[in-house]
């Protein structure tokens, strides 16, 4: 028996498809914002996770917080370490899982990228209502949380 989507299911499918397109555009835009600093969206995302946490994180913690694969985050952390953007510190709680910290050079680059992002995002936000954006965020968060709890 083939299940058919309800009208709400169709609407959510359209939202999901638009989210995929939006994700692609955000990666392209992020790469444009980060390119002048020898960075990529992926590198910025990993550094941003540590910045948002306000404390050093392990690769696994970064991956979980950003919804990324641990192996991919490890590759990016290795690249960032080679570039001097992050440093790996000993983790007293887990010897094989060092803590990722942002270096002074990394903080400087992150600050420059964040300034460029502020200009970019403010241009996009111009004319959009804060309440509308807050409601959209709530809906997207709810969809993600519901999906996380469904076993297929």
**CATH architecture assigned to 18-139:** Orthogonal Bundle (1.10)
Q: Is the pLDDT of residue 1 over 70?
A: no
* Sequence spans of domains, the chain: 18-139
pLDDT tens for 40-79 read 999 999 999 999 999 999 999 999 999 899 999 999 999 9
Longest dimension (CA), the chain: 59
| Residue 152 token pair | 């297929």
| Residue 60 token pair | 């696994």
pLDDT tens for 77-106 read 999 999 999 999 999 888 889 999 999 999
Q: How far apart are CA 98 and CA 92, in angstroms?
A: 9
Alpha helices in 35-56 (DSSP H): 41-53
Which has more confidence, 90 or 152?
90
| Residue 21 token pair | 């397109």
Say whether 88 sits in a helix, a strand or coil: strand
């Amino acid at each position: 028996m083939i299940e058919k989507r309800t009208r709400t299911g169709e609407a959510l499918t359209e939202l999901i498809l638009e989210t995929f397109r939006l994700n692609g555009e955000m990666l392209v835009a992020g790469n444009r914002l980060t390119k002048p600093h020898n960075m990529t969206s992926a590198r910025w995302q990993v550094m941003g996770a540590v910045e948002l946490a306000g404390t050093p994180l392990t690769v696994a913690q970064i991956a979980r917080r950003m919804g990324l694969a641990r192996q991919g985050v490890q590759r990016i952390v290795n690249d960032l370490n080679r570039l001097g953007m992050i440093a790996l510190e000993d983790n007293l709680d887990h010897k094989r899982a060092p803590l990722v910290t942002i270096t002074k050079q990394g903080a400087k680059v992150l600050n420059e990228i964040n300034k460029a992002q502020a200009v970019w995002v403010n241009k996009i936000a111009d004319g959009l209502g804060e309440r509308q954006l807050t409601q959209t965020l709530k809906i997207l968060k709810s969809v993600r949380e519901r999906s996380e709890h469904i076993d297929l």
